[in-house]
């Protein structure tokens, strides 16, 4: 039975890398699903976890991207296509994973998009909410039985410090298509808050099982996640020279450091009973008041389930 206790945590810092936090952790025989393995945090997560013996079931938007990423590392990888913005693709991905007939020891919901400068819609929803939240929501639900089959299955939702940028009310249930108004960062923050609330709602549903769900903030990292940023912020952040200065001011992490928290939460023996928590820099952190709201988490869960029910059941 899971509890909310964290016992005997090891000491890590903001500069700890994914290699550091998994040192001495034997993942032989473990099957871990990672979304977005083609670059950035997903690629580093796959590289490090396979080096510890894990079998990674890695997703990318195309067969070519997944295959290229898998071929770039030494380790056991099974690749699956998953376009998170396409609910049919997510369902097909989950069905392929389930067809492997393996217990899933970890599901790291890593992939995402950030700060789209203009409103984009998919499936009737603003694209960041659609991709970052609803796509992963379908995947989590369809893989849940395989996760519960594991000795201690862990679901890790990549949220962000940006969840604190979510608009007033947290989740704009009456404006999820952006028809009333849209701004890039508040809507990105909303999607990351949704990831956090999904972990919170899941943690309650997993009580009484050996599975857990937690959310993490990886840090501020210059990866291709910033490719969609518009305006002066996009120019400054994506330019190699100005980006370096901006990074110094913001305290950005390297990709190796950014992948640390999700690898830690997904594998650390001392976190086997951590459930419904939020982590940053490999330590438990306090989320925003919206991120702690059980009522909001339940409202979002019910809304999301109804919205994508045909792809879950």
Q: Catalytic residues, which ones?
A: 182
Tokens of 179: 């028809």
Instruction: State the Cα–Cα distance between residues 106 and 91, nearest whole angstrom.
Output: 18
Q: Which residues pair with 31 in a beta bridge?
A: 55
The length of the chain, given as a count of residues:
313
Residues 6+ apart with CB under 8 A from 59: 33, 34, 35, 36, 37, 66, 79, 80, 81, 82, 93, 111
């Amino acid at each position: 039975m899971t509890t909310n206790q964290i016992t005997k945590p090891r000491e890590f810092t903001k500069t700890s890398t994914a290699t550091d936090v998994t040192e001495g952790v034997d993942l032989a025989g473990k099957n871990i699903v990672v979304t977005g393995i083609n670059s950035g945090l997903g690629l580093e997560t796959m590289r490090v976890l396979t080096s510890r013996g894990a079998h990674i079931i890695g997703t990318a938007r195309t067969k070519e991207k997944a295959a290229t990423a898998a071929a770039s590392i030494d380790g056991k990888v099974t690749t699956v296509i998953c376009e998170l913005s396409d609910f049919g693709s997510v369902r097909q991905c989950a069905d392929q994973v389930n067809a492997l007939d393996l217990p899933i020891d970890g599901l790291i919901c890593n992939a995402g998009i950030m700060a789209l400068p203009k409103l984009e819609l998919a499936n009737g929803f603003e694209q960041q909410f659609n991709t970052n939240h609803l796509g992963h929501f379908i995947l989590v639900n369809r893989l849940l039985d395989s996760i519960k089959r594991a000795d201690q299955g862990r679901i890790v939702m990549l949220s962000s410090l940006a969840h604190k940028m979510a608009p007033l009310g947290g989740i704009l249930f009456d404006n999820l298509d952006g028809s009333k108004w849209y701004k890039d960062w508040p809507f990105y923050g909303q999607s990351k808050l949704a990831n956090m609330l999904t972990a919170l709602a899941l943690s309650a549903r997993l009580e009484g099982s050996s599975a857990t769900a937690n959310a993490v903030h990886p840090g501020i990292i210059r990866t291709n996640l910033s490719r969609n940023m518009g305006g002066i912020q996009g120019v400054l952040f994506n330019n190699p020279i100005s980006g370096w200065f901006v990074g110094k001011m913001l305290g950005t992490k390297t990709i190796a450091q950014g992948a640390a928290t999700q690898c830690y939460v997904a594998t650390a023996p001392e976190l086997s009973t951590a459930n419904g928590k939020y982590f940053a820099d490999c330590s438990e952190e306090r989320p925003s008041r919206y991120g702690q709201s059980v009522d909001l988490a339940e409202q979002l869960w019910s809304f999301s389930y109804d919205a994508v029910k045909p792809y879950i059941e």
